[in-house]
Structures are given as C-alpha cells and as structure tokens.
Amino acid sequence: MRTQHVCTIYVNLSTTRSTRISALPLPLLAPYYNRHREMEDYMPEEDYMPENDDRILLENLVMDVGGLEKLEGMIAGFNLFEAIGMRSQEIKHSATLAFLLNPNKPHGLGDYFLRRFLKDITRHADTEISPISIDCADLSDAEVWCEKNQIDILIECKSAKLVIAIENKIYAHESKEQLKKYDGYVNSNGEWESYNKLFIFLTIDGDAAVGGSESVNWLPYTHGNVTEVLEASLQANKTNIGVDQEVLIRHYLELMRRHILPDSDIAKLAGDIYKKHKKALDIIIKHRPDLRGVVSAMMSANIEKKNTPFQDLRCAPLSTNYFRYTHKDWIFSDGWQGERTAFKGNGFSFEVNLGDLVRSNTLKVELVMGDIPNLKNRKTLHEAVYCALNKKGIKGTKNAYLKEQGEEPSSVPYRRIWAMTEKLKANDIGDPEEFIKATEDAWWKIMEKCQDKIFDAATKAMKETGAI
C-alpha cells in the first residue's frame, strides 16, 4: 500500500496563528508569483515584523473580500484548455494557433483570422508586404505546419506566393542561433525562392529577437495582438460559426487572459490587490508550498515506510534540487566511493531533479555514477554496469565515465548511465495535491517498468568488480 498522508504534507504552515493562510485558494496566489519573482525572494531583514503585525495584515487581506472574490470569479470557471493542462505550454499554444490560422480546418473562421492576422502584422511592420496586398490575396490554399524543421508554425500560401514563419515564445527566449537556422531553412528552399516571406517573433511583451543579423528579419508581435485579432474575427463571423467552435475559441481567449496576457483585466485587478496588500501577500508567498520539498518528503516517506515496489531502498544524501535514493546493498568499498557529499559511501544513486520536475511536469529518474577519484575503478565500474544493463535490454550511456587525464577528482561531474521519463497525468496539474499524487504515480510506473532489472544487473556488476 502507498502512503495515504503524503498529499497533506504540503500544508505545513504555522497553526499557532488565528488566520489560516492555507485556507486561501491557491489559484488566487498565481497572479502574484511572477510579480514577486521580479523582486527579492525575501523581504529585507529590517522589514520583518512581529507575529501579531503579520496576523493583522493577513486578517485585513482576508476581510477585504470584494477584490479577492471578484478575482476568484474571473479565474475559477471551467476552461477546456486548463483541463488538459495547457496553460503556458508553448507546443500546445502553437498547435491551437496553427489550427485557427489554417483556413481549411473546421473552426468556422475560414481564412478570415489568417487574413486579419497578417494585415495587422504588416500594418505595423516595416515590410514590403502591405495590408492591401494581403487583403487582395488568395489565402484559401494555405498549408499550415507545426514543428516543420522545428519551426513552431510555418504557413505556405501558394496562390499568394507567401510563406510565413512564426516563432512562438511564452516565458522563454530564443536559443543561440535558433532564428538563424529557421531563417536559413526558409530562404534556402528553392520552391519559395520567388515567394514573399514574413518572419514573426511572437512573445508576451513584443520583445525583439536578440540573435545576430538574421534577427532583424523577425517582426515582433504580441500574444495580446493575437488575442485582439482573434476576438475581432470571432465577432465578425458570429452568424456563421457553430456553437462548438465558438466555445473552443472563447475558452482559448479566456485562457490567454488568465495565464498569458500582462495587461488583461485579471492582471490589472491582481496588480491592484497586490498594491493594496503587498506585505500580506509577500508573507503568503514566502510561506507558499515548495513542491520540491513536498516531492522529496513524499519519496522519503515511501522509502522509509517501505511503501514502494521494492523494499530494499534507502535514501541517499539530499539537496534542495535533487532527491536521491539507492539500494541498501550498494555500500561501496574504499577506492570506489564518490568524494562529494551526494556520493559519500556510494558510487551510484538514482537521482530526481526536483526543479526540472516542477518546471516541466515530467518526472525523470536517472542512474548516476558519482565522482569516483580512481579513474581505473571509474572506467571499470561504468563498463561493467553498462554491459550488465545492456544484457537485460536496458539502454545505457556508454561514455559517461570519461575524464581528462590529470583532472582533479573534485572537478569530475556526476555522470548519467541510464534515465527514464514519465509525463505527469492529472486533471489539474496546478493543484499541489494532484501534482504530488501524479508524481507518485509516475514514480511507481518507472520503478515497476525496469528498476528490478537495474537492481539485479547493477548489483551483480558491482560485486564482480569488487566495488561492493
């Protein structure tokens, strides 16, 4: 049986105060998280106040229910896209936008949204393509792709001899030479040699691309612009569009206002509440659930109470961002142990990057070899474990033990020899309880899939080499 109490671990706030911070709905705190990250993580020491003053501030916030209730009403309704965990996921946003921009998809907008979208971009941009030429163009044969040559959205209009590349960024920046690669792909395609080309850099704030000279070709455009154009397109086609299509588009617009747009009514109301109750909200945010710590506590509890598919596990040294566990028999001999704290007494541990888990909603469990200073032992052990896993049909990483001759042992990084990922599945991944439950389920799946084979193969190899 799994532990039944782990989903309540996260509410670990002081119960000595009369005001229950944990009683505030967690979704109400979401609009303040990004705002608070722009400031200092903690209030300066001179701003700390006695507990009674903290309680008064929190009580004032709770009693000022008008703004909070209005904000909760704006973000609490059912949303189809929230239900599938979309929120700020770029790939899903790009897929939705590509669907709506494709005139041949059954959304009821025809080519109206695509045409208005392009007219709005060319109206504000320094480009040879004019809104008039877009208005007169035949866009009915437009083809739209997602992730073609890794470009988020690529549109080809053969009749209009126009190709459009859209790079969609939500809370992210372009990577090094990313736009150069896309620019090169579009410009080097012989079929599009005579085409007009538009490169659109779609962001929340309308930031310009920061790449090299090729970035000047990319026209900045905002998600707010997209939302306005889509809203106008919906209104213009209201008599022609079906109920299902209207619901889909309205839910997408609402998702944008809730989670993406910085100047939406939701964002403005959240800002007003924050200004009025800044210190109280800073206290709440400072004590908000740290999902990294909650996941670590859940995994530790399961291992210590032997509530896992394998009874022979033990926790390894932990850190803020990493949870580590190992097999109870993996007690390494002298000369085979790692030097750093995480691998004291160990040569191998299973490792979970808690920060990546929280950011990506994907659990990755890695088998990591520590910083064994004896290079010969390091190579021998890695080769033995790698071959043993391979015989069991488990693919490992072949060259993980390598280091330069003469390199100080303390500078040898940890090396992965095996990894498996499992996407979290939950109705509302943003809810801490569901997040912890989904993480536990994913962990179970990974352990049940192959960790028995890994334990058997690795333990045998470690014994044969004399490491344990």
Residues 220 and 363 in one domain: no
Looking up tokens 């691998």, which residue turns up? 343
Residues 112 and 205 in one domain: yes
Residues 6+ away with beta carbon under 8 Å from 432: 10, 26, 289, 291, 294
24 in any annotated domain: no
Q: Is it the case that residue 113 has pLDDT exceeding 80?
A: yes
Per-residue pLDDT band at 121 (split at 50, 70, 90)? very high
Q: What is the pLDDT of residue 69?
A: 67
Q: Is it the case that residue 35 has pLDDT exceeding 60?
A: no
Q: Is it the case that residue 329 has pLDDT exceeding 60?
A: yes
3-state secondary structure of 22: helix
Residues 235 and 354 in one domain: no
Domain limit, last residue, from 256, 273, 306:
256
Of residues 284 and 184, which shows the higher confidence score? 184
Residues 393 and 250 in one domain: no
Q: What is the pLDDT of residue 64?
A: 72
Q: Percent of the chain, pLDDT > 70?
A: 75
Structure-block tokens of residue 58? 């929190």
165 in any annotated domain: yes
190 in any annotated domain: yes
pLDDT in tens, 254-276: 899 888 877 667 777 777 777 77
Rounded mean pLDDT, 27-47: 38
Residues 411 and 454 in one domain: yes
134 in any annotated domain: yes
Residues 151 and 211 in one domain: yes
Among 58-67, 195-204, 290-299, 391-400, which range has the highest average pLDDT? Answer: 195-204
Residues 245 and 349 in one domain: no
- Answer yes or no: are the C-beta atoms of 101 and 114 closer than 8 Å: yes
Residues 336 and 379 in one domain: yes
Q: What is the pLDDT of residue 39?
A: 35
Q: What is the pLDDT of residue 13?
A: 30
39 in any annotated domain: no
Pairing of strands 313-315, 218-222: unpaired
Q: Which ranges of 144-262 would DSSP assign to H, the alpha helix?
A: 178-188, 223-236, 243-259
110 in any annotated domain: yes
Among 53-62, 253-262, 334-343, which range has the highest average pLDDT? Answer: 253-262
Beta bridge partners of 44: none
Residues 139 and 219 in one domain: yes
Residues 124 and 202 in one domain: yes
Q: How many CB atoms sit inside 10 A of residue 14's CB? A: 12
Of residues 11 and 145, which shows the higher confidence score? 145
Q: For residue 219, what are the domain limits?
A: 90-256
Q: Is it the case that residue 12 has pLDDT exceeding 50?
A: no
126 in any annotated domain: yes
Of residues 122 and 20, which shows the higher confidence score? 122
Of residues 246 and 5, which shows the higher confidence score? 246
Distance CA 94, CA 36 (A): 28
Residues 234 and 303 in one domain: no
- Answer yes or no: are the C-beta atoms of 75 and 154 closer than 8 Å: no
Q: What is the pLDDT of residue 46?
A: 40
- Dmax over CA atoms of the chain, in Å, equals 78
Per-residue pLDDT band at 26 (split at 50, 70, 90)? very low
Q: What is the pLDDT of residue 412?
A: 44
pLDDT in tens, 362-384: 899 988 887 777 778 878 888 88
pLDDT in tens, 156-171: 999 999 999 999 998 8
Domain limit, last residue, from 212, 237, 256:
256
Q: What is the pLDDT of residue 294?
A: 82
261 in any annotated domain: no
Q: What is the pLDDT of residue 297?
A: 84
Domain limit, last residue, from 239, 256, 273:
256
Residues 440 and 349 in one domain: yes
Structure-block tokens of residue 20? 């229950």
Rounded mean pLDDT, 132-151: 95
Q: What is the pLDDT of residue 210?
A: 73
How many domains in the chain? 2
Average pLDDT value for the chain: 77
Rounded mean pLDDT, 283-306: 79
Distance CA 319, CA 296 (A): 9
3-state secondary structure of 222: strand
pLDDT in tens, 177-192: 889 899 999 999 999 9
Among 77-91, 127-141, 428-442, 445-459, which range has the highest average pLDDT? Answer: 127-141
